[in-house]
Structure 1
Amino acid sequence: MKVNSILFLLFVWVPSALAQPAGQLGALNTDAAVQQMVRSLDDYYKNFVVDSRLRFADKRVQQLYKREKVKAWEKADIDGNGLIDMLITGTHYDEKSKVICVLNMGDSLVLEDFGRQFYRYCPVARIVYQGVQPLIAYADYGRPFLITEPLEKDGRQEFLLSYRFGGLIEYNPAPTSARVDSLLYTSHFAYHEVEEISIRIGPQDSVIYKSCEYPVLDEAKKKCEDLATKLTSRAQQQVGELLNYLQPDKLNRTYRIGHNHVPYIVLHVVYADGRQVQVDDKGGIGSFGLTRLYTLLHSLRKTQSWIPTKK
């Protein structure tokens, strides 16, 4: 059964990869070379433009980049594997600014596309350092209604990102080690089809996975799964460490984006000490860490061995 819709993939991190020896990104020293590398990653980026002059149709963006000293491309070992990665700002199809990060995994190049840009405006990204550790300072804005409107400061969202758990998430220099008693994730998405998912992780890492999908206008065609398993030790570790790194109790309780046809996600976490945290996330892009957690939870359907629950 299909689990995610095409639109949902726009804001759940799904990398593009060049499945061949990655070569050395550190050797790329011209706009043309960087541009060609990006275009080679995926046909979707065949029109991506890299220009160190950072010229855009929207002069507000151009002026902001100049003021904040944004560069068309920067190099650093972002994922900490000893190989040079690149943070790139360019244009794509509509002449609007777009930020991507290309990570050198040794045997492949992986492209992080900052999927939240689909719903936001004027992404701003720079390499900054915490001691010797390179991080990404990322910000974006709410979409202005008119080209003549200023980019509102109160519509700006800022993140300091590190590469952890297979993606970019908010940097946390002091993650906790709290024990999670249970977790419930639910997602409801409707466009041409309705997709509903519920993932419950309980004591002893037992998991119940439920999903249904059906045409919006024909619920009689509903197809559902109701499965159970026990997480592998690796999956237990991944979920537990990621939760402690993103610390749900420090997140906002509600996130909203002003768009239709987006998932309505609820995350409920109960800790062993009795604390309970619930996050309501309309849009699925409340934070980079949350998006990474959603991706990990969805991946359990493929990475774990499941059996039908008893009726």
Structure 2
Amino acid sequence: MRNNLTLLLLILFISCNKNEKFVKTNVIPSEIDSLKTEAEIEKYIGAKDSNYKIFKLQNIQNTKTRFFPEFDSLNKILANKVNVKYSYVKADFDNNGYTDLLAIGDNNTNDSENPNANFEIPFTKDFNAIVLMNFSDKKTKLYDLDTDLCYPIVPKVEYINLQPFITVFKQKTKPFCGLKGNEESKSKLTYKFDSFIEYNPEPKSYDIEKIEFSTTPCMGQCPIYNFEINEDRTVKYTGTLLYASKNWKNVKYLKTTISDKEFNDLKSILNYIDFVKLNDDYNVNWTDDRSSILKITYNNGKVKTIKDYGLIGAYGLKRVYEMIIKLETTHNWK
């Protein structure tokens, strides 16, 4: 009888924890809360990130792209379908008490016709979906949700038990130059690992033994990486080119050691995005880009390989690539 009672209490405990509700942090007043007009918001965005100093808020219905009008029209249809008609939304996406800002609009900072153009931005995008994360009045960081070169997205703020998420809707794409098209899709994003990635309410816990990441050449000057990250935290680099401090170097073999935190962070995000269930192949719908191959050895020798033409197969994958590539400039290689 005592054993049955213990089992019942254990089941109730697990059930209560599984259904534990999101607890919203009290609002800490900041400058974003005081912004009332679009002009004030545009000025605030430009002041916080110089790459967006000439940013114009626009809802999707009023956006006019210069180079891809067909995709623009399809995005307006999709925006109407999911009832997204705003140019900005305020919400606390990381639940730290400070209000964040989702903004949609046209960034003219790097317009070739602008004599004060800031060429740190590779190209001017007529459509931008950005999030300015607010960590305090003195610390903010801007994230670009629209990683696709051709196809704009529809970002919608949705709440589940008071918790805000950004659902990104993507339009259907057609096959192009031998590349497969993709069906209309949506991804529910949350802020984790210093980025917006696909939300997973039940992360996995695989025993990750080795992480290998490599990239291929492109039609242009794309750096070629080949990383092997081992369980003992040693990292090996082999290849022909390494892009370090904006200088090309020919290398055959380099080695370094990363911290426990860096390795654990990589394992944590891979488990969070449940890498085993991700597609084996991803591709963008344009040509002349580079590909990546992510190979993960886990659970006593099992292997998952993900090929990604364009390196933006998923938001979580893109963040994994960034974390690995960052090692190239943050460590002493020998």
> Do both proteins adopt the same fold according to a TM-score greater than 0.5, normalized to the shorter chain?
yes
* Residue of structure 1 aligned with 2:94, choices 54, 64, 79: 79
- Determine the structure 2 residue equivalent to 1:37: 44
- Determine the structure 2 residue equivalent to 1:8: none
Higher strand share: 1
**2:167 is the alignment partner of 1:137:** yes
Give per-residue Cα distances to partners, 1:200-219, cap 9 Å, x unaligned.
012322210235339xxxxx
SS in structure 1 at match of 2:251: strand
- Determine the structure 1 residue equivalent to 2:152: 122
In structure 2, what is the Cα distance between the partners aligned to 1:256 and 1:247? 19
| Aligned residues of 2:171 and 2:183 also touching (Cα < 8 A) | yes
Q: Give the aligned length.
A: 273
| Aligned residues of 1:193 and 1:213 also touching (Cα < 8 A) | no
- Determine the structure 2 residue equivalent to 1:10: none
Give the stretch that moved more between structures: 204-213 or 132-141. Answer: 204-213
Give 1:54 deviation, angstroms: 4.4
- Determine the structure 2 residue equivalent to 1:12: none
TM-score, structure 2 normalization: 0.73
- Determine the structure 2 residue equivalent to 1:183: 211
TM-score, structure 1 normalization: 0.78
Give 1:230 deviation, angstroms: 2.6
Q: Which amino acid aligns with 1:224?
A: V
* Residue of structure 1 aligned with 2:221, choices 193, 196, 206: 193
In structure 2, what is the Cα distance between the partners aligned to 1:137 and 1:111? 18
Gapped regions of structure 2 (runs ≥ 5): 1-28, 65-71, 109-123, 176-180, 243-247
In structure 2, what is the Cα distance between the partners aligned to 1:175 and 1:53? 34
* Correspondence list, 1:1-311, <5 A: 23-51=30-58, 54-57=61-64, 58=72, 60-70=74-84, 71-93=86-108, 96-106=126-136, 107-119=138-150, 121-141=151-171, 155-193=183-221, 195-213=223-241, 223-224=250-251, 226-306=253-333, 308=334
Give 1:266 deviation, angstroms: 0.3
Q: Percent of aligned positions with the same letter in both sequences?
A: 24
Gapped regions of structure 1 (runs ≥ 5): 1-21, 146-152, 215-220
Give 1:154 deviation, angstroms: 5.7
Between 1 and 2, higher relative CO (CA 8 Å, sep ≥ 6) is seen in: 1
Distance 1:195 1:301, change over 3 A: closer
| Aligned residues of 2:213 and 2:228 also touching (Cα < 8 A) | yes
| Aligned residues of 2:129 and 2:146 also touching (Cα < 8 A) | no
Question: Higher Cα Rg: structure 1 or 2?
Answer: 2
| Aligned residues of 2:60 and 2:75 also touching (Cα < 8 A) | no
